[in-house]
Amino acid sequence: MSPNRPGSARLSGSSPAMTGSFSTIPGRTRQSRAAAVMFDLVIVALGVLGAYIARFEGAIPANYFRQMLVLAPLLAAVRVSVNYAFGVYRLVWRYMGLLEAVRMAQATLVVSAVLAIFRLGIGDLLGTPYLLFPLSIIVMEGMFAFLGMAGARFIPRILRERVRHDAGVPTVLVGAGQGAMAIVKEAIRHPELGIRPVGYVDDDPDKAGRMIANLRVLGTVRELAKVIKHTGAERAIITSSAFGPKAIARVMDACNPLNVEVRIVQGTYETLGASADPAEPAASQFVREVRIEDLLSRDPIPPSLGLPDLITRFGGKRIMVTGAGGSIGSELCRQLARMQPAMLFLAERDETNLFEIERELHQAKLAHLVTPVLLDIMDGKAVERAFKDHQPQVIFHAAAYKHVPMMERFPWEAVRNNVLATKQLVELAVEHQVESFVMISTDKAINPTSVMGATKRLAEQIVQELAARTHTRFSCVRFGNVLGSRGSVVGIFKDQIAAGGPVTVTHPEATRYFMTIPEAANLVIQAATLGSVGEVFLLDMGEPVRIFDLARQMIRLSGFTEQEIPIKVVGTRPGEKLFEELSTTSENLSPTELRKVFRCKPTPIDKARIDALIERLQFVVRARDGKGVRDILTELDIGYREPTPTRGETA
């Protein structure tokens, strides 16, 4: 197992502070360059002498000795001049590597090639004995010059690496690919990281027992526990974000009983758009602790469309994000701001959340692209005024009530926000000739058992019905639970673990689909490039995760056992299902040109019937009649059924 991905390659350290490829040393630059020039003059002169001694086996004839005395200073001056032209004297000796050696080889080869051409083309014509030097001299002198100049520059690095090899915490590297070698380099160059690699484990049979970057592949990932005991390692680093959840879980299982810390290379979404601090070593920026999202039962899905493609689509547009201060809305704003919009309108009713996302984008030097809009989408007049003032061309509708148990207590509020406000929003989008409108939906909208899920399914139908008779490109994006969102199960479990437990699970067999916030936001943005007639797009989210297993993994990641932090089954809450669905059998799921993004073909909708039921919903909402809301939702052709809550086992 030796995955090698771009995300891990960044560990090699691209900043000048790390590579030193063309770094200069302020205050001492001139002195160090002068010393390097004098050193090379001596090396080249000795190289010429060595070439003549080797050519004539120590007995240099008098005429060739005089030729050598003329050639040595001339060639030394030429080589130093060419080295200067190739930037050799801007290199920092202690950071010499392959790229720097290649640069020196190029400078050496150019001089030798010109010397050979001169000897063959002009030397014979002039007939001057000083120019009729043997071709073997040219070859040997070039070799000696390169070996002398490059070899001397490698000595400081060799000494430095030998002295610091024993510093830091003994660490096993999981995976022996490019990422692992980059970590080895960073550990040697930056002992302050506290990493002392002791070897690798890798499942590639061709690497077993081999030496890579002066360290041995000590076994397979399955043998990690034995390798840790043998080497005395106190840390394991998973060297690529390409490792699958099952492989990461195996590493955790091996390390936890031995109290060995586990860290992992950051992935694509985490480093996307991140600005590295050149003062920090690369490994400190892109290696982190293992998180619960690393243990999901599906691999991360890289985006199909790159940033340049999305800039082409959204660059120069006036874009509005509703719910801009929420978990998904704020991430949408972060990603959209990098797509060079003409203006990004942050529509949010919570002034604290609005302040935070605006401040974050200001700190990222994107203030010129951002306009905050303090707006409650349930205030019809305020929404209409916002459309007139800002004239958005693209709308991402992320504002919604999402917490299932809370909406069971206030069903009329779920209808006001998720249905009636969405209806007015899409109608205004048509009226103001918005180009594209994307609504964020949820897997709870399929065969809903909760008021929240039913209102989101009705909102999907409103979007689909209007899309069939307008030029605005409408679409919906449907996905499962989002890790790290406010009020999510992960946050609840973290709080319960921090309080000493127990961790409460509604049912031992309850399952959910999960995705990360950056993935969810990216899917929404990419779907906006596809939608045209109200399609619902969804992501192939792999296998659902058992909540009981999620609780166990989080307890383990927190450094506890189930004896220390028990798990308690408390029974399902009103509106909750044991498992979620992403589509119905009638939605005709089909692939799209985007990787693992699927299209649900819109089903015919009876507009007159929908309008009549929405009119009745408005009446019961004004009356705050919860039973009336549920009765009408049951009449809608959306599969809504009000469940009878069940109680699970107790632990």
Q: What is the pLDDT of residues 444-460, one digit of tens each?
A: 888 888 899 999 999 99
Is the C-alpha dihedral spanning 162, 227, 234, 490 positive or negative?
Answer: positive
- % the chain with pLDDT above 70: 80
Task: Share the mean pLDDT of the chain.
Answer: 79
Rounded CA-CA distance 385/423 in Å is 16
Alpha-helical segments (H) within 238-306: 245-255, 268-271, 282-286
User: What are the distances in angstroms from CA 406 to CA 18, 196, 393, 576?
Assistant: 52, 51, 34, 11
Phi, psi of 488 (to 5 degrees): -75, 165
Question: Are the folds of 165-290 and 307-480+516-541+581-635 the same?
Answer: yes
- CATH node for 307-480+516-541+581-635: 3.40.50.720
* Secondary structure (3-state) at 322: strand
Domain segments of the chain as ranges: 17-162, 165-290, 307-480+516-541+581-635
Q: Determine which one of 185, 207, 317, 444 is catalytic.
A: 444
Rounded CA-CA distance 264/233 in Å is 16
pLDDT (0 to 100) of residue 299: 57
What is the average per-residue pLDDT within 123-140? 69
Residue 321 near residue 347, CB atoms below 8 Å = yes
pLDDT (0 to 100) of residue 454: 92
Residue 104 near residue 149, CB atoms below 8 Å = yes
Angle at Cα 103 formed by Cα 99 and Cα 106, nearest 5°? 135
Burial class (CB in 10 A: 0-12, 13-18, 19+), 314: buried
444 given a catalytic annotation: yes
> pLDDT tens, 150-164?
877 777 666 665 545
Is the C-alpha dihedral spanning 342, 348, 351, 356 positive or negative?
Answer: negative
Rounded CA-CA distance 537/474 in Å is 11
Rounded CA-CA distance 563/36 in Å is 65
pLDDT at 367 over 80: yes
> pLDDT tens, 315-350?
999 999 999 999 899 999 999 999 999 999 999 999
The predicted model scores a pTM of 0.64
User: What are the distances in angstroms from CA 197 to CA 203, 239, 348?
Assistant: 18, 12, 48
Residue 345 near residue 371, CB atoms below 8 Å = yes
- CATH node for 165-290: 3.40.50.720
Least-confidence region, from 346-350, 534-538, 643-647 = 643-647
Phi, psi of 583 (to 5 degrees): -155, 165
Angle at Cα 62 formed by Cα 57 and Cα 68, nearest 5°? 75
What is the average per-residue pLDDT within 353-363? 93
